[in-house]
Structure 1
Amino acid sequence: HYELSVLSNETTLWELGRGAMGITYHAVDINLGSPVALKVISARYSGNARARERFRREARTAAQLRHPNVATVFHFGETSAGQCFYAMELVEGETLEARIRRDGALPVLAVLEVAEQVARALAAAEKHGLVHRDLKPSNIMLVASDADTADGLTVKVIDFGLAKAVAAAEDKSNQTHVSFSGTPGFASPEQLASDPADAALDVRSDIYSLGVTLWYLLCGKMPFAGRTLKEFRDQQLRELPVEQLAPAKVPAPLIGLLRSMLATDPAKRPQSARELLTELRYCREAIEARPRRLKFAALAATVLLAISGISLTSYFSYHQYVNRRTSSKAPVVPEKSIAVLPFENLSNDREDVFFADGIQDDVLTKLAKIADLKVISRTSVMQYRGDRSMRQIGDALRVSHVLEGSVRKTGAWLHINVQLIDTRTDMHVWAEQYDRDLKEVFAIQSEIAQKVGQQLHAKISPAEKLAIERPPTADFTAFDLYSRAKNLVLEWSYRMSSKDNLPRAADLLNQALGHDPTFFQAHCQLAWIHDQLYALGFDRTPGRLELADAAIQAAFRIRPDGGEAHLARAGHLYRGYRDFDGALTELETAGKTLPNDARLFELKAYIERRRPGGNEEEALRDFERAIDRDPRNFLLLQQISLSYDHLRRYREEKSVFDRMLAINPNDVETKVDRAFVELDWKADTRPLHQTIDSMRVTNPSTMASIAGSRLLCALAERDPAAAKDALIALGDTPLNDDVVQFTRPFLKGLIARMMHDDEQARSAFSAVRGDQEKTIQAQPNYSPRLCVLGLIDAALGRKEEALREAKRAVELLPVEKDALSGIAMIKYLAMVAAWAGDKDLACEQLAIASRRPGSVSYGELKLMPFWDPLRGDPRFEKIVASLAPK
């Protein structure tokens, strides 16, 4: 079937390369007349039938891998002498090893280009369960690119799957440098420490080998050397010889990434090829941004954002409700619009309210699958329990119809009554009663949704019909636990007063999944909770992300095309990895089956304001689009107010708080937040002070929930007695500022510092330093914790340590990685520098933070003791004046 090519003198075979595993030849497929690369495996690895079957199996797996950065395997066979061979794509080019030997080290950006292409190959292999096991420069081909890439290079990885078969064929009792089947200098610690054929090896082993390969490309040598496997293992446990990279002037972001890839513990490396790709993108952005001034980098990122956002924006604009903009005219209420109100529980058991809520929620969820309808989200409708005016509800939610109902559960029997009402006329459009066995509850929910769709003359596609008919679960206990968990999530907000809701909800969902492991929606909701706990800093450990990832993977196994699974993955990429582009791609997929889900626009808004360059204006538009589907969602309105705060558009921020108070006039925290606007805007503490005093008289039980605002007011007014009272009320709840959290012991030191009690301040900061260091040891890459440690060290006179910690926080979370949190890190670098006495650095960084959307405000700089070390400096006073109300 294949002929080997020979040179013109017909005496020497055209050999492409050779190694311990075998020899690769240039060959011709005699059937097609096309050139191929033919790998003939050494006889010592394929000398028996079992070994040959192993090679056949590995080749079959490798042949399934089709990717532009992988040399495709398309045939496996045996020679007449019993030697195994396989044919693969002939790559016209040279190996990376040959390139380095000929021309020396590659430029940094070329190395990153190679790394990204190999990482894409590994990501494709990961989907097929393939681990290369012998990734090195001689197994990576470099060819001239047809497409004009950034560096004119195209990479193709060869020999996928071969190393595992070779390793299994080795004599396990003779694992010396000579008999080791891979390449010790490029092998991961886990390869050298165990059987190289061990199935426990995963993509993280290949990531380590790629790290060594990148090192070789940068300096022409490997980081570790040895004559035996033991010597290599010992070398890997030592500190990386970073000095080898000095001649190449390798930038710090790339050195940091190499340290991560070459971690001895696989758990400390990027955990997937996709995660590695994300880190590579961040690394490239950081390196390319270094020579530019920040304002030009921000401008370029904004332009790129506008260009790259066209596709997604076009998709979201497809749905009619996106085109409804806030205007002076009364909004048109669509004819095909509906709100599903909470179903009344008529059972004697009050606990059955969760069962009734679950039925209402599932009917709403099914209706929301219909793209031809506008369906209001559950967050907004759950506020309408009990007596209600249908006209008022229609006006408030901007819908033409509502569905109300009641549920009575008696033993194994179920009675459900539903009514569809036109809110404009208060007329009943349709009503139905269902008296059936409890086992039929899920079928009833589907029937109701289909009937309502028909009554509203909605077009229902076959896929939407299938989604409506699909039951959420077959287990009633699981359904009840899931409904209880969703109610807890519904009551949750970013405020500390509801922080316990998420862990409690996670516990209920895990119980539900114990009853029904195939409960798709429970897995998706659980993933969201784990990601939220990680993102908010309650648990920043890799284990929390792994729990979220496990829930998402379970959801995809159950329903690979489920929109909720894609939405969960979008949130996971955003909250866990800041992979904004990946999250937007998942959102676009989710939107195809979740046409009414406000969460899509909500998440897109979060991404827009954090992407490089930051786009708070676009975020506001997306938040308003979400509000169109969820008009009484307090959390969404909180986020809109926050965006206006970042933009320092305080008048509009106050109007959002007015919208919130129109929904809930007695919400204490909203009243306080509204009064706080005057402090930020005009450096006026009087409205906030008066609001707090009023609460103390009329509703003293609320003092704990607003203790954080009380403390900030006291600090702004330089009132130590009030500050100490607020600190007592705050208890163990941390004070939040941006993403930074201040604990009670730190705040004691801050109050003492404000009072110029140096001895008490030093004592407090000394006491808290050890605890802060422990939190950083547990989460070493969490920038907000480093900011706090920087302030502590600055207060203790440890200037160098303080500045190093604050600069590290900025390095870990730059604006190129997260526009919003990155600016917060710059603000805190300025604050640490001020405390450490470096006024030049402080004013330089504060000037940057004050020009970008963020939390730096006129009132904060004018009044807060954090900035006292800069008072009187003309540069600082100029920054303060630039933020004063105009």
Structure 2
Amino acid sequence: MKTISSSCEKCGAEIPREALWHFCPACLLEKGIVLLADVPFIAGGDERLDRNGVSRTDENQKSELLSKGFPRKGIGIARNFADFGDYEVEEEIGRGGQGVVYRARQKSLNRMVALKIVSFGQWAAERHLRRFRLEAEAAARLNHPSIVPIYEIGERDGFCYFSMALVDGSRLDEVIESGSMPMRRAAELIAKLARAVHYAHERGILHRDIKPGNILLDAEGEPHLTDFGLARLPELQSDITGTAELLGTPSYMAPEQARGSKSEVTPATDVYGLGAVLYHLITGHPPFPAQTAYETIRMVLEAEPRPPQTWNRKLDRDLVTICLKCLDKEPRRRYGSALALAQDLECWLSNRPIQARQTGVFRHTQKWVRRNPTAALLIVSLAVLAATMVWSFQRSEPFGHRVANGIAVLPFENLSSDPNDAYFVDGVQDDLLTKLASIADLKVTSRTSVMHYRGKHDTREIAKALGVSHVLEGSVRKVGTSVHINAQLIDASSDSHVWARQYDFDLTNLFAIQSEIAQQVAKQLSAKMSSPEKLAIERRPTDDLAAFDLYNRARNLLLKASFGINRKAALLEAADLLEQAVKRDPSFFQAFCELAHTQNRIYHSGVDHTAARLAAAQAAIEAAFRLRPDAGEAHLARADNLYRGYLDYAGALAEVEKARKTVPNEPRLFFLKGSIERRQGQWEASMQDWERGLELDPRNLLMLKQLAPTYHALRLYPKAISALDRALSVDPNDIEAKGARAFIEFNWKADARPMREFLQSIRSSNPASMSRVADLQLICALAERDAPSARAALAELGEICLTEEAVQLRRPFIEGLIARMIGDAGGAMTAFNYARADQEKLVHAQPNYGPPLCVLGLIDAALGRREEALEEGRRAVELVPVEKDAINGPIVIQFFAMTAAWAGDRGLACEQLATAIRFPSQLGYGQLKLLPFWDPLRGEECFEKIVASLAPEQ
């Protein structure tokens, strides 16, 4: 229990007995000893502020305290050490509210880091240490590309410290010292930061000190939020601060913070901070630029910020509205969340209407009503009268039927005698769907979803399932070069025909007839069409019908691949067919775009992850841009290539935004955007985009099944299971979805029974499908240490036995693992030697590709090649940084942890494992507790603690 020896004569705060020389920690923090230019304000003084309203330390006061005996090494103890444990300290790079930050090299991983050491060193009072630990703990819980990640937390020689990513660049307050920032740049920065803040809020963490000095800009200009020294964690019902303390920086402090009311501090407080920073960026001044801290706080509580346009007349009105909504005195009148702020800024950036305008109008109206109650009553009465008249008119005069704009183009029936014409018929439907999807005013269901309804005729049920109001169906008969098409547009609510027509024509007129049908459908649905959209409908895809047939065959194969049917073979054959199509017609734009997407998938999925495949994709993209440089399809293909081939997320997202202008109804656009955001660690934004894509493609099993592993990676197991149940409602017999559900149960609860029971049901009811779940059989057998069953699973599997995203484990490795599991040392060594020769070829073919290298490291560890193994593991981690790939990055760290364990370095293994589990991934309780990969760590205290931390709550 803490004992108190005295009270501060100046501020009245209690001074803990352990405080050196009985200095008051609150007053020391207030006066800025060791914090210099970046200390948050703490009540109890009247310190002068700089031009940004930020507290500055009085050097005379600092010298006075030093003359009284306060040790200089307590200010910057790490300066005196070339080495600090695992860190080589190079230079001081900053001072924050809780410590001094140094550039340092972490020796074990040979990487540069930012090392933060508690400011008062060995002389820090307990309160200061608790704040320092709080910052580390808060930041360590967060994994977001716009939040500086924490690598390690520890204590050495009495000094608390933590290491974090080194952001090479500058602080935002340094950037804006010379004045304001361009509006778009400011909005982009705050939108990204708002998403990061929302991410923290979702995890119960409030920052409470958002200001330019706590925002770092990297070499690419991307923002990173840091300094969680004043954060509040969800499990702490009260702060570690005293009731009279004001924590924050005055010019960016929300009114509820200025009042010192901790109960009022909510996510809206951080929204205010973001708005205050936005104000500073667009005006060049903080919202309340007073001379003293107390004067600033008085203005925060009582005054309205100066209208931004008085600083800069060129400011856009909508951006000012967004900014001032954040700065409302009433928290409930600000944005409801940081995400809502981000979305409004993104609307402004894309020239869409903002939401804040509605709130502002309501506030002005409310104030006017209070000032003019009589006039307001008269206006309301007139409005009621007018509404009554309109209602009466509508009742007496029949209005024209207004058609809703959701449509599904169902598979056309093939009435041809030749079954090979099925590809031709599917091509007719596909081209109609593509033309209609180019109209922004229509919601067009994707082909992936409508293909489930081939041959089904209950249009009401189909429309209900797909969420549309209308259905286009028909039939095609082809005899030689003569074609007959019957097309019918049906209003699903009444099951009545809105429009129908039959066409008889020569094959050479196919594309003209398809354009005619699409235009008639758009007309019946009252869809507005722009000139570019009309041009898209009228444009012929190709003049070569043979090339069109090759294209349609490839599209059908790609559709099968999306359902997981012979995926590798389907992708490779589709690429070959598309190559033939563009060779026949070098002006076939759609075929070039589809070829680019196919090559990207082949490369990214690991089917052929080679430079040649990437070059083939790039060549197809360049050909598409030569043909139609402004087409959204070309921009989407380039976005896909930048994402899958180069991990260039910023570039890919920029191309996605360009694509949205001309292909607004393309589900692939939203799925791609969501995938990029997931790789960036923007999990919530990713889910929102996928859901938008699923609105357009509601029965896309591939995407429905992608929702589950995303929730699984977040360790939100009930939601993952719910997502799979949603997929099973589309296809109750989907074996992969059922198997994934059983695996999630295993990983969640460390219970192999759901997997075993699922496998038994397949074995008894559909034994021919056992090969499709052989990977699950292998995992179940390994978990239960059943070597015969594991070998039986191997017999059903191909060369690649287990995959986790881009990391693949091949047959010789699994054979070695099984032998190792049962204690067959000789058999294990033989198998691992085969595995090494196999894996080394993959690494040599792709020398800068981390996933195969991390597996080689694990194999070398099994063979006793300790130093090589650890070096390969480290190199793999460097090649796949989490900051660049939030999916594969944690997996590679996980494999490095396994490699260290197999190499006998348990300490390093536990350290890397502790790092791996901080990120979203499918590494869970079941895998750690039951699978033999982790056997070398069993009984190790640090490992058992990690395992226990992942156990489900009882």
| Cα distance between partner residues in 1 of 2:932 and 2:669 | 40
Residue 666 of structure 1: how far off its partner (Å): 1.4
Question: 2:903 matched to which residue of 1?
Answer: 836
Quote how far apart the aligned CAs of 1:494 are.
7.8
Structure 2 counterpart of 1:767, from 831, 834, 849: 834
1:607 maps to what in 2?
Answer: 676
The yes-or-no answer on 1:881 pairing with 2:948 is: yes
* Alignment match of 1:558 (pick from 606, 622, 627): 627
1:547 paired residue number: 616
Cα 1:543–1:300 change in 2 (3 A) is farther
- Once the two structures are superposed, residues 564-602 of structure 1 have per-residue CA deviations (whole angstroms, 9 ceiling, x without a partner) of 000000000000111101001100000000111111110
Report the AA paired with residue 375 of structure 1.
Answer: V
State whether residues 603 and 609 of structure 2, in contact with CA within 8 Å, keep that contact through their aligned partners in structure 1: yes
**After superposition, where does 1:647-726 map in structure 2 within 5 Å?**
647-726=714-793
Q: Which residue, out of 469, 476, 498, partners 1:407?
A: 476
Match of 2:516 in 1: 447
Name the structure 1 match of 2:208. Answer: none
SS at match of 1:819: coil
Q: CA deviation at 1:496?
A: 7.9
Taking structure 1 as reference, are residues 334 and 691 closer, same or farther at Cα in structure 2, changes over 3 Å only? farther
- Partner Cα distance (2:565, 2:844) in 1: 25
Offset of 1:741 from its aligned partner?
A: 0.5
Q: Is the 8 A contact 2:787 2:818 kept in 1?
A: yes
Contact 1:540 1:782 survives alignment (8 Å): no
Contact 2:800–2:808 under 8 Å retained in 1: no
Distance 1:590 1:797, change over 3 A: same
Deviation at 1:493, TM superposition (A): 3.3
Alpha-carbon deviation of 1:667? Answer: 1.5
Look up the match of 1:780. Answer: 847
8 A contact 1:608–1:618 mirrored in 2: yes
Q: For residues 50-85 of structure 1, give each alpha carbon's deviation from its aligned partner in whole angstroms, at most 9, with x where no partner exists.
A: xxxxxxxxxxxxxxxxxxxxxxxxxxxxxxxxxxxx
Contact 1:339 1:375 in 2 (8 A): yes
What amino acid sits opposite 2:420 in the alignment? Answer: E
Equivalent in the alignment of 1:521 = 590
Corresponding residue SS for 1:583: helix
Structure 1 residue 375 corresponds to structure 2 residue 444: yes
What secondary structure sits across from 2:711 in the alignment?
helix
Is 1:849 aligned with 2:916? yes
1:576 is aligned, of 632, 645, 657, to 645
Judged with a 3 Å threshold, the aligned counterparts in structure 2 of structure 1 residues 517 and 536 are, in CA distance, closer, same or farther, namely: same
1:88-487 paired onto structure 2 within 5 Å: 293-294=163-164, 302=196, 304=223, 335-487=404-556
- Which of 791, 801, 815 does residue 858 from structure 2 map onto? 791
Q: How far is 1:701 from its partner? A: 0.6
Contact 1:334 1:399 in 2 (8 A): no
Deviation string, structure 1 residues 790-830 (Cα, Å, up to 9, x no partner): 11110011111100001000011111221221111111111
Shift of 1:438: 1.0
Q: Give the match's secondary structure for 1:293.
A: strand
The DSSP-based 3-state class of the residue aligned with 2:562 is coil
Q: Give the gaps of 5 or more residues in structure 2.
A: 1-104, 113-144, 153-161, 168-191, 198-222, 225-338, 355-401
Instruction: Quote the Cα distance in structure 2 between the aligned partners of 1:664 and 1:823.
Output: 32
Could you tell me which amino acid in structure 1 is paired with residue 842 of structure 2? T
Judged with a 3 Å threshold, the aligned counterparts in structure 2 of structure 1 residues 253 and 495 are, in CA distance, closer, same or farther, namely farther
Q: 1:783-822 counterparts in 2 under 5 A?
A: 783-822=850-889
Matched residues in 2 for 1:293 and 1:525: separation?
Answer: 46
Q: Which residue of 2 aligns with 1:493?
A: 562
Q: 1:388 Cα deviation (Å)?
A: 2.6
Give deviations 1:60-114, integer Å, cap 9, x for gaps: xxxxxxxxxxxxxxxxxxxxxxxxxxxxxxxxxxxxxxxxxxxxxxxxxxxxxxx
The answer to whether the 8 A contact 2:486-2:500 is kept is yes
Alpha-carbon distance, 1:772 to partner: 1.2
Q: How far 1:302 moved relative to its partner? A: 3.6
| Shift, 1:252, TM fit | 7.6
Supply the distance in 1 between the matched residues of 2:504 and 2:195 (Cα, whole angstroms). Answer: 60
Unaligned runs of 5+ in 1: 1-246, 255-283, 321-332
Q: Does the aligned pair in 1 maintain the 2:558–2:571 contact within 8 Å?
A: yes
How far, CA to CA, are the matches of 1:653 and 1:317 in structure 2?
36
Whether 1:865 and 2:865 are equivalent positions in the alignment is: no
Contact 1:496/1:733 (CA < 8 Å) preserved in 2?
no
Deviation at 1:309, TM superposition (A): 8.0
User: How big is the shift at 1:880?
Assistant: 0.9
CA distance in 2, matches of 1:472, 1:300: 43
Residue identity matched to 1:767: Y
Q: In structure 2, what residue type is equivalent to 1:695? A: I
Report the equivalent of 2:891: 824
Note the C-alpha offset of 1:660. 1.3
Does the CA contact (< 8 Å) of 1:334 and 1:374 recur in 2? Answer: no
| CA distance in 2: counterparts of 1:561 and 1:474, whole angstroms | 21
Q: Retained in 2: the 8 A contact 1:813–1:822?
A: yes
What is the distance in 2 between the residues matched to 1:703 and 1:359?
Answer: 37
Quick check: 2:843–2:849 contact (8 Å CA) kept in 1? yes
CA pair 301-818 structure 1, distance change in 2 beyond 3 A: farther
* Matched-pair identity in %: 56
Task: Give the SS at the match of 1:466.
Answer: helix
Q: Is the 8 A contact 1:404 1:419 kept in 2?
A: yes
The one-letter code matched in structure 1 to 2:746 is L
Q: Do the aligned residues in 2 keep the contact of 1:319 with 1:595 (CA within 8 Å)?
A: no
The separation in 2 between residues aligned to 1:366 and 1:491, in whole angstroms, is 22
Q: Give me the whole-angstrom Cα distance separating, in 2, the residues matched to 1:426 and 1:594.
A: 30
Change in CA separation of 1:756 and 1:400 when aligned onto 2, cut-off 3 Å: same
**Cα RMSD for the two superposed structures:** 2.8
SS of residue in 1 equivalent to 2:490: strand
Query: d(CA) in 2 for partners of 1:533 and 1:645?
Result: 25
In 1, distance between residues paired with 2:582 and 2:650?
31
CA–CA distance in structure 2, aligned partners of residues 474 and 414 of structure 1? 17
Cα distance in 2 for residues equivalent to 1:697 and 1:451? 53
- What code does the residue aligned with 2:903 have? A
1:630 aligns with 2:689: no
In 1: Cα distance, 2:912 partner to 2:676 partner: 25
Q: 1:848 to 1:296 in 2, by over 3 A?
A: farther
CA distance in 2 between counterparts of 1:313 and 1:744 reads: 50
Q: Secondary structure at the match of 1:816?
A: coil
Find the counterpart in structure 2 of residue 755 from structure 1. Answer: 822
Please say if residues 315 and 588 of structure 1, whose CA atoms lie closer than 8 Å, have aligned partners that are also in contact: no
Distance 1:312 1:526 in 2: 32
Shift of 1:342: 0.5
The TM-score, its normalising length taken from structure 1, stands at: 0.64
What is the alpha-carbon distance in structure 1 between the residues aligned to residue 195 and residue 495 of structure 2?
A: 52
Deviations 1:591-626 (A, max 9, x none): 000111111110111111112xx1212211111111
> Residue 329 of structure 2 aligns with which residue?
none
- Describe the SS at the equivalent of 2:453: coil
Once the 2 structures are TM-superposed, how far is the Cα of residue 549 of structure 1 from its aligned partner?
Answer: 0.4
* Paired positions, count: 596
> What does the per-residue CA deviation read over 1:102-146, in whole Å, with 9 as the maximum and x for residues that have no partner?
xxxxxxxxxxxxxxxxxxxxxxxxxxxxxxxxxxxxxxxxxxxxx
> Quick one: structure 1 residues 310 and 787, their matched pair in 2 at CA, closer, same or farther if it must change by over 3 Å?
farther
Deviation at 1:299, TM superposition (A): 9.6
- Summarize deviations over 1:459-486 as a string: whole Å, max 9, x none: 1111110111001111110111101100
- Whichever residue aligns with residue 532 of structure 2, its letter is A
